[in-house]
Amino acid sequence: MLGYGYYYDPTYILVLIGALLSLWASAKVKSTYARFSRVRSMTGMTGAEAARQLLNSQSIYDVQIRQVAGSLTDHYDPRTKTVNLSDAVYDSTSVAAIGVAAHECGHAVQHNTDYVPLKVRSAIVPAANLGSQLFWPLFLIGLIFSLPMLVKAGIWLFVLALAFQVVTLPVEFDASRRALKMLSEGGMVTETEHDGVKKVLWAAAMTYVAAVIGSLLQLLRLLILSGAFRRNDD
């Protein structure tokens, strides 16, 4: 019988594996970004300038470019139609900054072309947020008081949060693909710089892959704790 609460829980190894994988992916993206943040782009453009040129090349003129505090806090907000670039990207002329700025512009292009996975992700945000907040309390209460319905509800809520992460994968990979294509077609990077940008974006994408794997391991843990794989010999 699996221990729980104050007892040893062997399924926690699944959480540990997911956490270690996430730490590896985070360290990888930080080290890769740091490496190429020291390489100046041949064009000498800043991240903000590159973003504006890329958006103009796609005939997108209603998206604003803003500077936001922090490091690796870059994101595209479809609600305000803004490409938000961190301090480390906005004024930087590095290959890494150009790559990150291009990636966020890739999201803007997705929004402008009604890219389906992006629309699906936006639609399930409320459900995913609810699932991530409530799945554990419901699951734990159901487990402690032997209430199968609450246990199942907790698992299904977690599946909603997992669905958001899964849908995020094609959105992020496609944004990177668009970024590399725009940079190449616009002649904004050399072949060597293109390889550098690709490495930065690939490392960033691995954080999303690691998150999905970690969540799948967590789902497996929940199923084990719920007794889903337990044989009923009665």
Reported pTM:
0.91
In the predicted model, is pLDDT for residue 35 greater than 50? yes
Q: Does 49 qualify as catalytic in the annotation?
A: no
In the predicted model, is pLDDT for residue 176 greater than 80? yes
pLDDT value of position 3:
44
In the predicted model, is pLDDT for residue 73 greater than 70? yes
Q: Which of 49, 104, 172, 193 is catalytic?
A: 104
CA atoms within 13 A on the CB side of 18: 18
Q: Please provide the average confidence, as pLDDT, over all residues in the chain.
A: 94
At residue 228 the predicted structure's pLDDT band, cuts being 50, 70 and 90, is confident
pLDDT value of position 1:
39
pLDDT value of position 233:
53
Contact 130/160 with Cβ under 8 angstroms?
yes
Give ∠ CA 113-98-176 in degrees, rounded to 5.
40
All structural domains of the chain with their residue ranges: 12-40+95-226
